[in-house]
Structure 1
């Protein structure tokens, strides 16, 4: 029988079994809403055709790959892992985490996709700073493995399915909060400058400042290069060395904000009495900083669930409502902000 995954199609398996393509996809993905007799018939054909490297011992244990295109993961990334793993547990789907330091799909996209298929992956959810290359997407398509980008730093076109948050709105809300307290000399500390999420948060910041007729001096807009705390300390010290010192900082992640708080401490400044700080993401870190951090809540738990559900729908050949979903952010006020001193 044919063994090349390009030669055997879902339609061929479905036609031979006398069922729909969607039903075959559900069997492949371990969905439970298929009659046992139908399931057995489809499984036998999948084994006979050796469809996509299909292995019998993996049919009852469908897995999804959660791939990070970073060698260094942040606190925010660990919360993404938790959200997708929890969603998988509710769906009866195992989630396997991979990262660029362990696997580099760009080095050999075909081998990477083939290994994922042979290991029983049914879909890939990717968290990456870059849109995966056409060669990688083509390799995943060859093995009928749908791709969903989760909180992409660069918003893809409609050929790629993605799920993110309302970054512009979040940036606007964070800045509007500081303005409402009376701050006018407000700094912005971003992460990766070219990241779409960073740019959207910066645009939200500028929009709120412009609406309040508050100036944005160039020296008060910085990009740390990453969203990590160490860079928050370094660039926070540089911002606080400006004269006059900003009375507030909106940082594009909770880790950057925690770094700014540490930078203020090293300069003998108190938060929030001398400097108000707002973060972004509402990770667990925001609750344990001293003081607890005012931040923008990004619905990570919901985002992970949407990404997994969308990946499974695609793997089952089902229609999805949108190629890009944005979940709403909201302001969470804690103790790191207050009105500026006279």
Structure 2
């Protein structure tokens, strides 16, 4: 191994053990027999392994795990995380999951071999076995808009999604709309369920009946908005306004309206969610609920770095406020329009 830096993976191969086992020995953690521990410690000395970082200070390496990178939503999050990491003197390693759960043995081995200080997990599912191994490695995890019913023991950063769904609906009701469609994003994600619940609550408060046929489940992408938008517009009594669970999906609704010869906002009002750059590129500019994406990623990155340096810190849940941004895509329904 001469001529290059010795890694944890090198020691694991030499000792015939896994990378997490070597990491446990390095960090003095349980789960390794006395004989194996002595053997690995001897190999560390023989091969001249040099530990990264100082105890309690971390190595300055954060793993950011995100579903995909090909949306403006992802770009905003990455910008925020990178800005905060740079401010704190840390580096980011980016992993995309394409919607698959996180926490496989291979991924954990790479994580331990890199010597990462912690993980920021954005809209991904953490496998129970992966969570247990990260706990064994004393590696902090912060969730951003977690999938499913999140583990309340893990630090979480989210937006006030319920309030955002309510505000979008109340805005349209205030303009005079009574048949309001809703295209959610993937409903397994807590954020999209909360937005839908806010929509239902606003309807109830206004004395309007919740109609399941006016609700569709999309995919947060343009294609899903187009397909589900057409379904709503082709109803015998179509909605006069549609709320989308994401801005890119809302652009798909724009396409559906164009296909049906409808003008926005004269014939159909549209509201998005997120406030990505697309909102000001489209015509008419999109009314949307601003989710502070960059701020959420910055906060999650800051929390991971702090937890890596002080594991005794309380694991909080942080919610950042959403804001309705009114632009040109919403207006009162046409006179005589149901």
TM-score interval for Structure 1 and Structure 2 normalised by the shorter chain: 0.7 to 0.9
- Aligned counterpart, 1:265: 258
Contiguous gaps of at least 5 residues in structure 1: 12-46
Q: Secondary structure at the match of 1:114?
A: helix
- Aligned counterpart, 2:74: 77
Match 2:64 to one of 62, 66, 69 = 66
Q: Which segments of structure 1 move beyond 6 Å, counting only runs of 4 or more? A: 47-50
1:210 aligns with 2:204: yes
CA, structure 1 residues 60+199, in 2 after alignment: closer, same or farther (shift >3 Å)?
Answer: closer
What is the CA deviation profile of residues 68-102 of structure 1, one whole-angstrom value per residue up to 9, with x for unaligned ones?
Answer: 2x357432112111110111111111112111259
Matched pairs, number:
300
Q: Retained in 2: the 8 A contact 1:295–1:331? A: yes
1:137 aligns with 2:131: yes
- Measured after TM superposition, the shift of residue 153 of structure 1 is 3.2
Q: Secondary structure at the match of 1:278?
A: strand
Q: Distance in 2 between matches of 1:140 and 1:116?
A: 9
Q: How does 1:143-158 map to 2 (within 5 A)?
A: 143-158=137-152
Q: Secondary structure at the match of 1:193?
A: coil
1:128 aligns with 2:126: no
What is the CA deviation profile of residues 187-221 of structure 1, one whole-angstrom value per residue up to 9, with x for unaligned ones?
Answer: 01111123221111111001101111122222101
TM, length-normalised to structure 2: 0.81
Q: Retained in 2: the 8 A contact 1:128–1:152? A: yes
- Measured after TM superposition, the shift of residue 118 of structure 1 is 2.2
- Measured after TM superposition, the shift of residue 10 of structure 1 is 6.6
CA, structure 1 residues 162+53, in 2 after alignment: closer, same or farther (shift >3 Å)?
Answer: farther
- Measured after TM superposition, the shift of residue 144 of structure 1 is 2.5
- Measured after TM superposition, the shift of residue 314 of structure 1 is 1.0
- Aligned counterpart, 1:301: 294
Q: Secondary structure at the match of 1:260?
A: helix
TM, length-normalised to structure 1: 0.80
Q: Distance in 2 between matches of 1:267 and 1:91?
A: 51
- Measured after TM superposition, the shift of residue 154 of structure 1 is 2.6
- Measured after TM superposition, the shift of residue 266 of structure 1 is 1.1
Q: Secondary structure at the match of 2:24?
A: coil
After alignment, is 327-336 or 93-102 more displaced? 93-102
Please, what is the CA RMSD of the aligned residues? 2.9
Q: Distance in 2 between matches of 1:124 and 1:196?
A: 20
After alignment, is 155-164 or 294-303 more displaced? 155-164
- Aligned counterpart, 2:175: 181
1:289 aligns with 2:282: yes
- Aligned counterpart, 1:315: 308
CA, structure 1 residues 170+158, in 2 after alignment: closer, same or farther (shift >3 Å)?
Answer: same
- Measured after TM superposition, the shift of residue 323 of structure 1 is 2.6
